[in-house]
């Protein structure tokens, strides 16, 4: 990811529009999403944990896991990529090292959250958060650790569920004051709560997280824009669709019947990048 791409993304977010960021989780999903003209993609920790480790998003991921995946994706991606980093994978020093590693790998931004370790998916029960002061200190340290000022620091709070909306909004304000570029209040539970976040933090760049079947209602990108949100992430939509397609494909293979709805092998070869290899071999 070159500096100009980060600058362009930051400018688009500052312009006051509302961008959609679909979730990717592996090389195949990223290759399919890249040419679709999105302004930004989102590397989901949930998706990487499931696809790389075959484990749920419950604190199993390491910084090394995410940096390895980030590096492989950013080698070919033209679309800016914001990447989940859970709680920074440790304390202040570890968080700063993670920021530097994500930036070096080519990400356009890093998302950090205020959960206690081991963290859990933001739409599952049992989440707890660290004290506000400790969370703010970590965000300030992350801001100080980046070398490119256009590398986005996305600060997420999970305080809504365990401590209430007022505390979540207060943390969002404190994160912005500490230098976060984007504020992310996770899992509001009603449309009215989304509106309250937009009203209280409307001068900040705000993320909304749309997880079908999660704790938040499913709202349109247009409605979220009207409430003051600048970025809408869809972290598991593609993985859920792919899982349904895989279930169908495996069931059909086992039964040797059914309507086979899948891309051709030629198209699959194009998607995974074989054409680039063949062209290089010809040269």
CATH of the domain at 111: 3.20.20.60
Q: Are residues 74 and 172 in the same domain?
A: yes
For the segment 230-249, the average pLDDT, to the nearest whole number, is 90
**Does 70 share its domain with 174?**
yes
pLDDT, averaged across the chain: 90
Are residues 219 and 253 both part of a single domain? no
Task: Please indicate, yes or no, if residue 242 is contained in any of the structural domains.
Answer: no
Residue 72 domain-assigned?
A: yes
Is this prediction's pTM over 0.85? Answer: yes
Span 80-125, pLDDT tens digits: 999 999 999 999 999 999 999 999 999 999 999 999 888 877 777 7
In the block, which residue shows the tokens 């040269």? 283
One domain for residues 170 and 65:
yes
Same domain for 128 and 265, yes or no, is no
Do 255 and 189 share a structural domain?
no
Q: Quick one: 279 and 188 in the same domain?
A: no
pLDDT per residue as tens digits for the range 56-73: 888 889 999 999 999 999
Q: How many domains does the chain have?
A: 2
- 166 and 274 part of one domain: no
Residues 112 and 150 reside in one and the same domain: yes
Supply the pLDDT for residue 16.
84
- Any domain includes 47: yes
| Residue 243 lies inside a defined structural domain of this protein | no
For residue 240, being part of any structural domain is answered with no
Say what the pLDDT of residue 59 is: 83
Q: Are residues 260 and 214 in the same domain?
A: no
pLDDT of residue 146: 97
Q: Are residues 166 and 231 in the same domain?
A: yes
Banded pLDDT at 3 (limits 50, 70, 90): low
- Look-up: residue for tokens 């340290």? 141
Q: Is residue 28 part of a domain?
A: yes
Query: Which range has the worst mean pLDDT, 80-84, 96-100, 241-245, 258-262?
Result: 258-262
pLDDT digits (tens, 9 = 90+) for 134-172: 999 999 999 999 999 999 999 999 999 999 999 999 999
- pLDDT value, residue 2: 59
Regarding whether 216 and 269 lie in a shared domain, the answer is no
Range of the domain at 271: 249-283
């Amino acid at each position: 990811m070159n500096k100009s791409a980060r600058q362009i993304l930051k400018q688009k977010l500052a312009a006051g529009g509302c961008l959609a960021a679909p979730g990717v989780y592996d090389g195949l999903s990223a290759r399919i999403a890249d040419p679709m003209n999105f302004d930004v993609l989102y590397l989901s920790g949930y998706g990487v944990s499931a696809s790389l480790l075959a484990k749920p998003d419950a604190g199993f991921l390491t910084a090394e896991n995410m940096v390895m995946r980030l590096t492989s994706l950013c080698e070919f991606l033209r679309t800016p990529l914001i990447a989940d980093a859970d709680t920074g994978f440790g304390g202040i020093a570890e968080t700063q090292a993670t920021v530097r590693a994500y930036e070096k790998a080519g990400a356009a931004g890093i998302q950090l959250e205020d959960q206690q370790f081991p963290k859990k998916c933001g739409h599952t029960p049992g989440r707890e958060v660290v004290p506000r002061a400790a969370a703010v200190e970590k965000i300030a340290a992350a801001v100080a650790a980046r070398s490119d000022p256009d590398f986005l620091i996305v600060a997420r709070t999970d305080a809504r569920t365990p401590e209430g909306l007022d505390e979540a909004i207060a943390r969002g304000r404190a994160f912005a004051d500490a230098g976060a570029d984007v504020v992310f209040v996770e899992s509001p539970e009603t449309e009215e709560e989304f509106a309250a976040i937009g009203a209280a933090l409307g001068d900040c760049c705000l993320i909304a997280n749309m997880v079908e079947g999660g704790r938040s209602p499913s709202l349109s990108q247009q409605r979220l824009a009207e409430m003051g949100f600048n970025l809408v992430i869809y972290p598991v939509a593609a993985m859920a669709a792919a899982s349904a397609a895989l279930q169908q494909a495996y069931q059909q293979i086992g039964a040797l019947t059914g309507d086979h709805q899948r891309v051709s092998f030629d198209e699959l070869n194009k998607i995974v990048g074989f054409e680039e290899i063949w062209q290089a071999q010809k040269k």
